[in-house]
Amino acid sequence: MLKARFTRRESLLQCAALGLLRFAPSVGLHQAVSALEAQERNIARKPTQWNEIGPFYKRLAPNNMQLRAPDDPGLPVTVRGKVFDIRGDTLAGAMIEVWHADHLGHYDLDGYRFRASLSSDPAGKYSFDSVMPGHYPARVCQHIHYLVTAPGHKPLVTQLYFATDPVFEGDPDRNYSRDPLVMSRELVRPVTLSGDPKSIQANVNFEVVLDRL
């Protein structure tokens, strides 16, 4: 049998480059290819969209779900989610590394502020408390970086974005691509506010789906 020169994804992208595969203007290239791949593989859940790792990943972050100190300025945010595989099964014991800028958009390179290495529980759940990241000057959107790994699965590097980000002007469907690094609308998550006006709190759900190796 002839050995394929390209992966299925590469061959679809090549078709797109040559005009043999076309998309409606409302559908992004990578979204369309991912959807087509998912359909062909008959999977229950589409793997979470990959997003670049950025220059400030730091290994050996502490296992600590409380990233926010009591006197930290900024809007408190709690992120919760589950880790799934593409069959829709939850993944226990997945390692979830998260890191982000402080409320002013500064990354801690010398220490581990706003960095953590978490593990999903037996039900695949994870959560952490932090502050809403500020806008890093060279990036358009507020974001939290993720690196998720689990045995037997491809490592996932991605970023979480917030629908309330002023950059989206209340319409992330239309405006998510204002940040050229946001390659998929699905990474922009709704924000729910809770608490009272004196101690308001943002809540975000971010489920991640890992592809098989």
Partner 1 sequence: MTRPFAAGLMLVGSLGAQPTEVATLATPAKATSFVLAKTGRLAGAVCEDRKLLLWTLPDGRMLQTIDLSGRDIDAIAISEDGARIAAGDHGGGYTVWATSTGARQMHIQMPFYPFALVFSPDGKRLAIAPVGEPVQIYDPASGQKRLALQRTTGGTAAIAFSRDGGRIATAGTDTVVRIYDARGGELLARNADFLLVPLTASFTADGKQLLAAGADKIIAWLDAANGNVIRASAKAADPVMSLHVSPDGSLVAALLMHADNMLMAGPLVISETASGRKVQEWLPASLALGGGWTEDGRLLVATATAKAIHIWRVR
Assess 105 for contact with partner 1 (CB under 8 A): yes
CB 156 within 8 A of CB 50: yes
Of 130 and 159, nearer to partner 1 (C-beta) is 159
Residue from 32, 36, 53, 95 touching partner 1 (CB under 8 A): that is 53
Q: Is 173 exposed, middle or buried (0-12, 13-18, 19+ CB in 10 A)?
A: exposed
Q: Are strands 199-205 and 191-196 parallel, antiparallel or unpaired?
A: antiparallel
Residue from 70, 151, 152, 180 touching partner 1 (CB under 8 A): that is 180
The amino acid at residue 44 is A
Smallest separation, CB 193 to partner 1 (Å): 29
Window 110-139: residues binding partner 1 (CB under 8 A): 137-138
Q: Name the one range near partner 1 by CB under 8 A: 35-43, 55-63, 76-84, 201-209.
A: 55-63
- Cα 207 from chain centroid (whole Å): 9
Assess 69 for contact with partner 1 (CB under 8 A): no
Nearest CA to 9 among 31, 42, 26?
31
Among all chains, which residue has been given the structure tokens 């890191």?
99
Among positive and negative, which fits the CA dihedral 151, 207, 163, 172?
positive
Give the whole-angstrom CA distance, residue 81 versus residue 78: 10
Site string for partner 1, 4-33 (x = CB under 8 A): -----xx--xx-xx-----------xx---
Smallest separation, CB 102 to partner 1 (Å): 10
Residues that bind partner 1 (CB under 8 A): 9-10, 13-14, 16-17, 29-30, 50, 52-53, 55-60, 105-107, 109, 137-138, 147, 149, 155, 157, 180
